[in-house]
Amino acid sequence: MTAILSHHRFVYESLLFQLSPKQKQVLLAIANEGNATGVTSQAFLQKYKLGSSTVQGAIKVLTERDFISYDNDSYQVSDRFFREWIIKRF
């Protein structure tokens, strides 16, 4: 897996470059959770120091751009290798 992550490093970096700081913050939170539920709950917002409107706006953009997907009442990073890269990098 390390070889795959290394090989795609520049692609992943360019993907993150496309996002605003708040969108990145929400993406990182979802990546860290794995299957993020209750993304507008007080517990989630406090844990990641986010605002509800920030999360809602970022979720919309991240879903539209296929960075994240929604399935079984949870959000997850669409590309599992991208998720692993995010976790290792941040």
Strand 68-71 to 74-77 pairing: antiparallel
On whether the pTM is more than 0.75, the answer is yes
- Rounded Cα–Cα distance for residues 40 and 65 (Å): 20
Q: What pLDDT score was predicted for residue 6?
A: 77
If pLDDT is split at 50, 70 and 90, which confidence band does 38 have? very high
42-79 pLDDT tens trace: 999 999 999 999 999 999 999 999 999 999 999 999 99
Amino acid identity for residue 6 in this structure? S
For the domain bounded by 2-89, which CATH number is listed?
1.10.10.10
Average pLDDT across the chain, whole number: 94
